[in-house]
A and B are shown apart, each in its own frame.
Chain A
């Protein structure tokens, strides 16, 4: 029956059919149902951003943001892989976003001028270690929103730079291959924007000033 859906990919499942299910929230087993739920929404219709971002009723907003950031981070890794084809350290020697903005890589003890690709990798690594840090996020079921708000905003700022500004301005050509990874470039951008704006992490002002 529906209630006993295992949500497993058995050996030999085709890529098309992987993770393919439409379970209502209540039937997703386990306490950490948000992640499979978000992934399922993305899988079924990745263009329906507002549905994906809509927190389910009664859901703790802290956990919801946390899970979204985690998912976002996961998918940005795909972008980083694609970037490698086009973004070489000797061409993009600095993390640039539009002509006048160059950024310092914050993943070092003292900030450094890393090439764009390194910046991308360091930022993703930093985000991964933060999101998995036992000290700041001891639980995935309860999440203190106020205490973690500032950490979210730092990383979403870095993410924003990394893929919206840099990719969009300097690697327009790689937008196409992204399609097969569920997000075309415009979608990442929209996704990001609606995500951050809705959760007030990142301000609209930046959008205008940097566009």
Chain B
């Protein structure tokens, strides 16, 4: 009788194992990068509803220049002249002059397409025009006009009175955003065929983009637009374009993965830490056990690797070399000392008196793998600066662009982050349409709703695509901000991430992942013949039900894969080394969700899921581990190991009491202190300085201070004059010679 339930359980477990065994699923073909190719990124800028507008802007152009037969045939000076004329018109107050000129300018930025032009040629033409436009002073002007248009109260009032808002309401705004986006996206790439002049122009553009245009830079203008949109004041804003432009602006001005890595290495060197953690695993033959910091001779390593692979076919990527934190060493020492010596010495990892030899050896190994992150270093430096306000080195960022961005974001970071999260929630595929939530679809919905089935299918695809692009832009943006600020200063990163956590980012991301991820990453929400260059270059082919259904083969959708990975990375950044936030992952039952997303066979995605799982296995209990051995071994294989880590057998279910509020509160105090010291006005830092202020010896202070004279003195001042002034000999000449001596 006892055997039957047991048997049932065994069966169940086997079934579970079978579910886990997904080796048959093919790998997802996807390469993570900062963004897609320029063609794809450009195509994602436009929604399919905007199709007619391409033609309209072309017509606007031909009305402006009726005598020009072919744009490509013009000389550079003639092109410049035309652009200047358009830019001149854009300054005009009259809508009738300005708006057609903007559309014509957009047409030129798009590359002055004509039917039958090749895509490469269009791209080249667009690039050329963007450079010309920039050299005519187009960038500042359009940013300014964007600002003007977004703050235009009249249009907001008119639009808000309409019964329904649609894509036509954001016509001018969209044109500005399109032009800016094309400029930014074009300048993001350096083409190998660029002339030296163009390279200089590119640099100047990127510099100018990070500079304020009349006290606000483009980032802030766009963030403010996002906030306004979320507040419901301006529901007609084309939010997708705003977010895309914001993401790209940050990407261009701060730099992508490559720059982040470079900045990090440099910052580590400046802090006196080794440039990077030496990743090399000593191989099994005991050969080549080199010391840390030998990453400079990479070339030799390369040849070694090739030799190795010839010997034994390396089927699996080597696991990253284990790391250990100073904190873990301290914990280890505390434990051993209390065991062998009987008392503890805090903050000392060199005194080994009374410890047996094997412990020495263990410590030696740990110290060889020690890794001090930039964040830890900065935390210590900040503590020190607080203790010794005069002598300690003050934090001084080397990355000016990043620093000035933080400074300008700082006053409103909470609103910005919450707005981003709100939009993310509204555009996640699992979101239910609520009446009170913000409507992110305004800039796809046409003025009149489709009547045929085909049209509504097309609109459906467009809407999904629109949401996916929004998610992509937001996830890309947040991840970039987090990474850059983490390199710049750990507390800047903490401030942003705390605001994200307070905005319920953790459950939000989990909710996002709580769907069929495999089908999300393979959605086919695109219609190739309607994508940007194709829809204007090729002859119009009718969109039929078949074309809507079978487009593309079994490939993964780049943008969705990209946003999934980004969201996982954000989640990991938020929860890493934060006990209470890891507990939040437990509370929200993230393990089954994460485990399910392991179905997607992609190395990078897997790694981040496993990282998140590893952080919480300790708290999931023995039973969970026992029944999820596949996952456990994947963690063992792929994730970096920490020395002395008890992730696989730790059992403190409620060993450590955790208090979310308290932990976040103390972190908040630290962050506030940091912000006050470095960016506050009338701040605590100055108060300390005032106490020790230099004694004021300036002569002007004498004239400035008011002297109270007593009544007695006033009555007898004549006597005082007689005695102290008139009778005393004054040598005025000395005053003169005094000034000469100086």
Please list the residues of chain A having a beta carbon within 8 angstroms of any beta carbon in chain B: 94, 100-104, 106, 108-111, 113, 135, 144, 146-147, 149-151, 153-154, 157, 200, 202-206, 209
Q: Is the CB of A109 within 8 A of B80?
A: no
Q: Is the CB of B84 within 8 A of A203?
A: yes
B137 within 8 A of A: yes
Q: Is the CB of B92 within 8 A of A109?
A: no
Q: Is the CB of B214 within 8 A of A108?
A: yes
Contacts of A110 in B (CB 8 A): 144, 147-148, 151
B59-117 CB contacts (< 8 Å) to partner A? 77-78, 80-82, 84-85, 87-88, 91-94, 97
Q: Which A residue's beta carbon lies closest to that of B150?
A: A110
Q: Is the CB of B144 within 8 A of A106?
A: yes
6 closest A-B pairs (Cβ-Cβ)? A203-B81, A154-B137, A205-B81, A147-B204, A146-B200, A150-B137
Q: Which of A103, A150, A205 contacts B136 (CB 8 A)?
A: A150
Contacts of A113 in B (CB 8 A): 93
Q: Is the CB of B97 within 8 A of A100?
A: yes
Contacts known (A154-B140, A203-B80); A146 close to B148, Cβ less than 8 A: no
Please list the residues of chain B having a beta carbon within 8 angstroms of any beta carbon in chain A: 77-78, 80-82, 84-85, 87-88, 91-94, 97, 134-141, 144-145, 147-148, 151, 197, 200-201, 203-204, 207, 211, 214-216
Q: Which of A147, A151, A206 contacts B88 (CB 8 A)?
A: A206
Q: How far is the CB of A208 from chain B (nearest CB, A)?
A: 10
Contacts of A109 in B (CB 8 A): 147, 214-216
Contacts of A104 in B (CB 8 A): 91-93, 148
Q: How far is the CB of B206 from chain A (nearest CB, A)?
A: 11
Contacts of A149 in B (CB 8 A): 135
Q: Which of B78, B85, B93, B214 contacts A94 (CB 8 A)?
A: B93
Q: Which B residue's beta carbon lies closest to that of A102?
A: B93
| Bound CA–CA A84/B320 (angstroms) | 75
Q: Which A residue's beta carbon lies closest to that of B137?
A: A154
Q: Which of A103, A151, A203 contacts B93 (CB 8 A)?
A: A103
Contacts of A103 in B (CB 8 A): 91-93
Q: How far is the CB of B79 from chain A (nearest CB, A)?
A: 10
Contacts of A206 in B (CB 8 A): 81, 84-85, 88
Q: Is the CB of A102 within 8 A of B215?
A: no
| Bound CA–CA A205/B144 (angstroms) | 25
Q: Could you list 28 A-B pairs, sorted by A, with CB under 8 Å?
A: A101-B97, A102-B93, A103-B91, A104-B91, A106-B91, A108-B214, A109-B147, A109-B215, A111-B91, A111-B144, A144-B200, A146-B200, A147-B207, A150-B138, A150-B204, A151-B137, A153-B135, A154-B137, A154-B140, A157-B88, A200-B80, A203-B77, A203-B82, A205-B78, A205-B82, A205-B85, A206-B81, A209-B85
| Bound CA–CA A102/B88 (angstroms) | 11
Contacts of A108 in B (CB 8 A): 214
Contacts known (A103-B93, A205-B82, A206-B85); A111 close to B145, Cβ less than 8 A: yes
Contacts of A205 in B (CB 8 A): 78, 81-82, 84-85
Q: How far is the CB of B200 from chain A (nearest CB, A)?
A: 4
Q: Which of B135, B137, B145 contacts A157 (CB 8 A)?
A: B137
| Bound CA–CA A135/B207 (angstroms) | 11
Q: Is the CB of B136 within 8 A of A146?
A: no
Q: How far is the CB of A91 from chain B (nearest CB, A)?
A: 18
Q: Which A residue's beta carbon lies closest to that of B148?
A: A110
Q: Is the CB of B81 within 8 A of A204?
A: yes
Q: Is the CB of B200 within 8 A of A147?
A: yes
Q: How far is the CB of B694 from chain A (nearest CB, A)?
A: 29
| Bound CA–CA A109/B204 (angstroms) | 22
Q: Is the CB of B201 within 8 A of A146?
A: yes
Q: Which of B82, B84, B93, B135 contacts A202 (CB 8 A)?
A: B84
Contacts of B80 in A (CB 8 A): 200, 203
| Bound CA–CA A154/B135 (angstroms) | 9
| Bound CA–CA A103/B144 (angstroms) | 14
Q: How far is the CB of A206 from chain B (nearest CB, A)?
A: 6
Contacts of B204 in A (CB 8 A): 144, 146-147, 150
Contacts known (A100-B97, A111-B144); A150 close to B214, Cβ less than 8 A: no
Q: Which B residue's beta carbon lies closest to that of A111?
A: B148
Q: How far is the CB of B174 from chain A (nearest CB, A)?
A: 19
| Bound CA–CA A11/B139 (angstroms) | 48
Contacts of B135 in A (CB 8 A): 149-150, 153
Contacts of A209 in B (CB 8 A): 85
Contacts of B207 in A (CB 8 A): 147
Q: Which B residue's beta carbon lies closest to that of A154?
A: B137
Q: How far is the CB of B140 from chain A (nearest CB, A)?
A: 7
| Bound CA–CA A146/B201 (angstroms) | 6
Q: Is the CB of B84 within 8 A of A157?
A: yes
Q: How far is the CB of B497 from chain A (nearest CB, A)?
A: 32
Contacts of A154 in B (CB 8 A): 137, 140-141
Contacts known (A108-B214, A135-B211); A200 close to B91, Cβ less than 8 A: no
| Bound CA–CA A147/B196 (angstroms) | 12
Contacts of A202 in B (CB 8 A): 84
Q: How far is the CB of B215 from chain A (nearest CB, A)?
A: 6
Q: How far is the CB of A187 from chain B (nearest CB, A)?
A: 23
Q: Is the CB of B134 within 8 A of A147?
A: no
Q: Is the CB of B141 within 8 A of A153?
A: no
Of the candidates A103, A149, A202, A203, the one having the most CB atoms from chain B within 10 angstroms of its own CB is A203
Q: Is the CB of A203 within 8 A of B85?
A: yes
Q: How far is the CB of A195 from chain B (nearest CB, A)?
A: 15
Of the candidates A102, A150, A151, the one having the most CB atoms from chain B within 10 angstroms of its own CB is A150
Q: Which A residue's beta carbon lies closest to that of B79?
A: A203
Q: How far is the CB of A197 from chain B (nearest CB, A)?
A: 10
Q: How far is the CB of B94 from chain A (nearest CB, A)?
A: 6
Q: How far is the CB of A16 from chain B (nearest CB, A)?
A: 39
Known: A104-B92, A149-B135. 17 other contacts (CB 8 A): A94-B93, A106-B144, A111-B144, A111-B148, A146-B197, A146-B200, A147-B207, A150-B204, A151-B137, A153-B135, A153-B136, A154-B137, A157-B87, A157-B88, A200-B80, A203-B77, A204-B81
Q: Is the CB of A150 within 8 A of B148?
A: no
Contacts known (A135-B211, A203-B85, A209-B85); A147 close to B203, Cβ less than 8 A: yes
Q: How far is the CB of A147 from chain B (nearest CB, A)?
A: 4
Q: Which of A146, A153, A200 contacts B137 (CB 8 A)?
A: A153
Q: Which B residue's beta carbon lies closest to that of A112?
A: B148
Of the candidates B91, B138, B201, the one having the most CB atoms from chain A within 10 angstroms of its own CB is B91
| Bound CA–CA A205/B79 (angstroms) | 10
Contacts of B84 in A (CB 8 A): 153, 157, 202-203, 205-206
Q: Which B residue's beta carbon lies closest to that of A210?
A: B88
| Bound CA–CA A153/B148 (angstroms) | 22
Contacts of B151 in A (CB 8 A): 110
Q: How far is the CB of A133 from chain B (nearest CB, A)?
A: 10
Q: Which of A101, A147, A151, A203 contacts B92 (CB 8 A)?
A: A101
| Bound CA–CA A200/B148 (angstroms) | 29
Contacts known (A149-B135, A150-B137, A154-B140); A102 close to B94, Cβ less than 8 A: yes
